[in-house]
Structure formats: C-alpha cells, structure tokens
Amino acid sequence: MESASDKHALERLGEVRANIARMCKPSRRKAEDVTLIAVSKTHPAERIIPLLEAGQRIFGENRVQEAQSKWPKLRDEYPDAQLHLIGQLQSNKAEEAVELFDVIHSLDRPSLLKELAKAMDKAGRRVPCFVQVNIGDEEQKGGCPIAELPEFLAKVREADIPLAGLMCLPPSGTEPAPFFAFLAKLAKDNGVAGLSMGMSSDYETAVQLGASHVRVGTALFGARE
C-alpha cells in the first residue's frame, strides 16, 4: 500500500518535471534535454525508493562515504540508477569516487585532476566531469577561479577526462540569474556544452537560462530530517 509520504514524493516529482517542461517552452527546448538530478544527500534509502519506483533514475550525493553506505544495495535493486557526485571531492577520495559515481560535478583544481586521471586509469573507466567554477569569486567556496578556467579546461582535455560541462553555485542570498547567464557565456566561450546549475530554489531560472542539469533536493524530498 502506498504511504502518504510516497504519494507526496510522486506529486513533488510530477510538479518539478512539469516546471522544467514549462520553462523549456519559451526557448523551444525539450524537457528531456534537461537532466533532473534528485539530490538524495542526508536522506535514507526508504525516502529514495519511492522516487526510484516512480521512474526517477538520476540521483546526487554530496559525500563519498554516505553514498557508499546506501547506494550499493539500492543499485542491486535498481541497476539502471545513475549516481552523480555534486559535493566537494577530496583528492584522497578520488579512487573511491571513480568506482562509485557515474558523473562528478566538482572538478575544480589541478591536484584533484591529477588524482582523478590516475584513478580512472587504474579503474579502466572514464567518468565524465563538470568543472566547478567559482562564479561569485568567493574565498570560502570551491571552484576554479574564472581567470584560470581556459587553462584548467585545457588540462582536463589533455588528461583525457570526459568534459561534461561547467557547474556553479551562485552566492547565497543573491539573485542567481546573472551568475547562471555568466556561466552559460563562459561555457560558450570555451566550447563546453553542459551546464550544471540550479537547485530547489532556483532551478526554474536555471532552466530558462540554459541549464542541462539541475540539482534538486528539497523540492523533491521535502525538508531534511
């Protein structure tokens, strides 16, 4: 029997998908061109299963250790599920990340690039990566500095790491649209297609400005426990 929480999860998923489709229309994009990443960080497996049952297959986690604790079993039951790492990645966790994740959204520095390339060579698999850009030039935040982006992208390509696109986190408490538009311009200027931008509070704006991937947690799962 479907529980109330399961029903709410289905309703939220339908609403987010409908919003994405609506925001795609003005630019004549297809809703299928936007990848919805259900951010399942801090949520236990029993909260994730209703979305898997509803057909959602792409999920995002912030930490390698948390993903290791719940996703191997979930993937046994749902082998076509994909897992994206959306949080900061420590260089010493590169090998584990390459084994576990299908896409990494937080490649942002040469030391991590070196360790990821080494881990991919060892594992015999190439994991697509988004380069995280420090779009607001914030000291406390990860991300490649804007001025260093062209040189860093060249290094990523030289390392034979599949370049999925650019990712950003606009400064909190600010209007995100100018930052999303700037990331889109940086991608275009550097010959990069993918744009990982937008979360629960601003994913509609991100889609409107060209996001290829949106990272949505609260709007799908409700408030974190």
Distance set, CA 151 to CA 54, 118, 145, 156, 169 (Å): 42, 20, 11, 9, 21
Tokens of 24: 């795609």
Output the pLDDT for position 1: 41
* Residue 190, amino acid: N
Q: Rounded to an integer, what is the distance from CA 210 to the centroid of its chain?
A: 15
Cα angle, residue 79 at apex, residues 42 and 103 outer, rounded to 5°: 60
| pTM of the predicted model as reported, rounded to 2 decimal places | 0.95
Candidates 89, 95, 110, 210; CA nearest to 154 is 110
Output the pLDDT for position 141: 85
Candidates 143, 148, 188; CA nearest to 165 is 188
Q: How would you write the pLDDT of the chain (225 residues) with one tens digit per residue?
A: 455 556 688 899 999 999 999 999 998 999 999 999 999 999 999 999 999 999 999 999 999 999 999 999 999 999 999 999 999 999 999 999 999 999 999 999 999 999 999 999 999 999 999 999 999 998 888 899 999 999 999 999 999 999 999 999 999 999 999 999 999 999 999 999 999 999 999 999 999 999 999 999 999 998 765
CA dihedral 192, 198, 199, 203 (to 10 degrees): -130
Question: Which spans in 25-93 are helix H?
Answer: 45-53, 64-77
Cβ proximity of 194 and 223 under 8 Å: no
Tokens of 169: 């986190």
User: Which residues lie across from 196 on neighbouring strands?
Assistant: 167, 213
DSSP letter (8 states) at residue 162: -
Please write the tens of the pLDDT for every residue from 92-134.
Answer: 999 999 999 999 999 999 999 999 999 999 999 999 999 999 9
Output the pLDDT for position 9: 82
Q: Which residue has the tokens 């990982």?
A: 196
